[in-house]
Chain A
Amino acid sequence: MVYGVGLARGMGVTLKTLIGPAFTVQYPDRRVGLIGAARAYGISTPGLIFKRPIKAMRAVLGLERIDVRPAQAARFRGNEFTWYEDRCTGCASCAKYCPLGIIKIVTLPGGTNVQEGESYALDTFEIDTGRCMFCALCVEACPYDALHMGSNFERANYQRMGLVLSKRDLVNQPKHPSTWYRPQMELLDYSPFADELDDFKQAGRHETPSVERLTRRWVEDRRTSEVNEADEAVED
């Protein structure tokens, strides 16, 4: 074998990569030209030039940058948790399943009908995401679909206490639940990065059943009455 053939072949592979398409993803922002900037701001190119001349100038000079969000899967287990207070009964299944014990729940004997098991009044619901390893066993454990994984990951903080999600944070933050272990959301054609599910009823499973569903459940599927409600929600 002629010495140097392997080297030449290797250089050929490198050369092919040089002229092929790049696979680098720019993050957190990327430079755009005039047309790209106009598309990013949602206006036409002449509109950008006349209405926002400074931005157009920067784009021509190659200084304009737009934010980039990397492509993520819908099941991505994100940093912030999504929690629906109306649905949470304070049963603390999530706290028991957490391998690290970072979910802190304090309940008070409240609610209207504690004797019938309606709910407890939640005094504290804290998740220390600084110690969380995002295994999402808590989401799997939640019997009422109250706790979901989030879809965000940009949660850098200057203080460690800022990573602790208090009850107020969980209630107030925008709710983009991940579809991890929530098959009903995958059937809804829901995207965690475009849609916001503020209402717990939109999150599926425990919403009031429709008439059609009840008819099907109690009339047509009477023989298989052992089908539990969770599977019913999946099939819907």
Chain B
Amino acid sequence: MLATAARVLVVLALLAGLFGLFVLDGANHSSIHSSPTFPADSSPDSPIVSAGPLEVTPPDHTLLRGPPIDPGYWDLVFMYAVSVVALCWTLARGVNRWRFDRQALAFEPREHPRVRPLAWIRTLLSRSTRSHPRATWRRD
């Protein structure tokens, strides 16, 4: 009981820590997607008046070394479609391989997976072969 209470406290502390990261990231504007930029009153063509680290600010004048990323419609469809496949695959594996132990209030691996995908596919195939109309016709 004491161990469970301690674990709940740890989980709450970690959730608070994660929330703190979101707030800190929002406060610092240290978004990973922000890009190094020139100050608003300068441009790549203007003479360099001081040598120092480039300022990282929200993108007003983004420094570009290469062509911008410009995905087409089908590029986005591909990217998000396969990403949904990845989510479904991982979720299915998780449900198949893990169970929630209500007494321990924790997840643990199943002793045996709920479904063995290859065996399941083989069973489906053998069933469809047996019930195939052409097979019936041949027997007749």
A and B: real partners?
no
Q: Give A residues with C-beta under 8 Å from B.
A: none
